[in-house]
A = this chain, B = another copy of it.
């Protein structure tokens, strides 16, 4: 054990949340495989109408999630239905505050009316990335969530800028990791177009998750192990192998004695 590793925080933790974006259909436009995936995840991020998720879809997805006793969260987005919230938009900080407040408020109310309790918030698509690069926007986002309900947890890129800001604002943060993406030595995700940046097969992806849980580290593209918190794992519901991956993750985690559950 070298000197550097002595300073590494001990982030190993033998439990993990599996989260998935759901309720992203829009009227007759159906996306995702919510009903099939629901049994394998432990928390759900509900589209709020801005990138998908009309009112009826939201309500049905809330009911489905409550049946499966998964933790419910809101998944606010840039208002861009045609772009599915994946195109960056340059909004003012006040607009970020207002849209976050409005979208999360709507979902919180619908969840409460269906006799559930909203637990968390996770930004969607281009907004998720935008908040890592625009600190003022990140502050506005975190404050909107806190002003609405300070009990809401914020799912953030593990070790990212938003995570720090949200903590400062007074929110509990849940650090999110990805199974199928490699990290650079800065702790950020290596860009998709980098050689070797994605883990195509299931096994290496699962091994990355196991190392994160057992050792609290990830092996970077550059070859070093660096510390990284893993509290929730994102399952992309629109991937072709989403269902297989979700099942495999749960089985492996069960087999190794990890707890799979939503953040407590």
Contacts and interface: CB of A to CB of B under 8 A. Distances in A.
Given A87-B90, A90-B87, A91-B87, A104 B98 contact: no
A44 to B, nearest CB: 17
A88 interface: yes
The number of times this chain is found in the oligomer is 4
Interface string A92-106: 001101110111111
B88 A89 contact: yes
Interface string A49-80: 10010111011000000000000000000011
A170 B153 CA distance: 34
Interface in A25-55: 25-31, 49, 52, 54-55
Contacts of A30: 29, 31
Interface stretch (A13-21, A107-115, A186-194, A248-256): A107-115
A9 interface: no
Interface string A103-137: 11111111011100000000000100000000000
Give the top 6 A-B pairs by smallest Cβ distance, nearest first: A105-B109, A29-B29, A106-B106, A55-B102, A55-B98, A28-B84
